[in-house]
Amino acid sequence: MKKNFKLTLEYDGTEYSGWQVQNNSPTIQGEIENALGLMLDQPIRIWGSGRTDAGVHALAQVANFQASTSMGQSQLKKGLNSLLKGPIVVHECTEVDEAFHARYNAREKEYHYFFLNRELPCAVGRNFVWHIRHPLKIDAMEECCRIITGTHDFKAFEGAGSPRSTTVRTLFLAGFEKTAKDRFYFKIRGNGFLRFMVRNIVGTLVLAGAGKITPIDFRKILQGRDRSLAGPTAPAKGLFLMKVSY
């Protein structure tokens, strides 16, 4: 009889081509499936709560897999961490009900996007922030955040190739938190996200922070449902999947 296991994962996505398995490219899913296959001597398929893109990080990605094994959850966690090492760490491994699915049972996801806003870049931690030299007006960006909070059609912020039946999503929270004089992060929580949606929103918020568009312009972009009207896609390296709720 197969058991169903839930994993909570932390990873540095810098050297990976995203979550989803790809031919001839290292991915988070591929690394974990290879390690589990080696441990359990059987082909394993894991399902993540979402497909983080190339270069995106996670502090609490959730995944699940099914396997025929006598191993317990603590043995699996220890074995995975000994094989994975470095950029991928398993924080939790729990046996769950057979009906649990990391993607389809997820109710909310929270992402943080980190900024370094000063003239000089950083050497340590440069793979985890978007360095922007010119000053940003956080109050204008906060005003734009209030516009997108709630249920809206986010087609204007959708990347090409989104696997979706609708572009309507609900954002429960969107705003900024300052952590130091020159550092802050954007926090966003919703019931689901389109491909590149968070990074496209961030890229457009930065235009507002730089004074290149107004909050009124931002509202028109949202309502226009046209990706070409919105700002550039923010770099992947500043984005972290922080939490998945079930």
- Check if the beta carbon of residue 110 is closer than 8 Å to that of residue 218: no
Q: Say how far apart CA 116 and CA 114 lie, in whole Å.
A: 7
Q: Cα dihedral sign for 60, 64, 69, 72?
A: positive
Q: Say how far apart CA 129 and CA 71 lie, in whole Å.
A: 39
What element of type H or E holds 67? strand 57-67
53 belongs to the catalytic site: yes
Q: Say how far apart CA 206 and CA 100 lie, in whole Å.
A: 38
- 82: which 2 tokens? 């000994």
Marked catalytic residue, from 53, 97, 153, 226: 53
Q: Is residue 96 exposed (0-12), middle (13-18) or buried (19+ Cβ within 10 Å)? A: middle
Q: Say how far apart CA 40 and CA 45 lie, in whole Å.
A: 12
Give the count of beta carbons closer than 10 Å to the beta carbon of residue 150.
11
Q: Which residues are catalytic?
A: 53
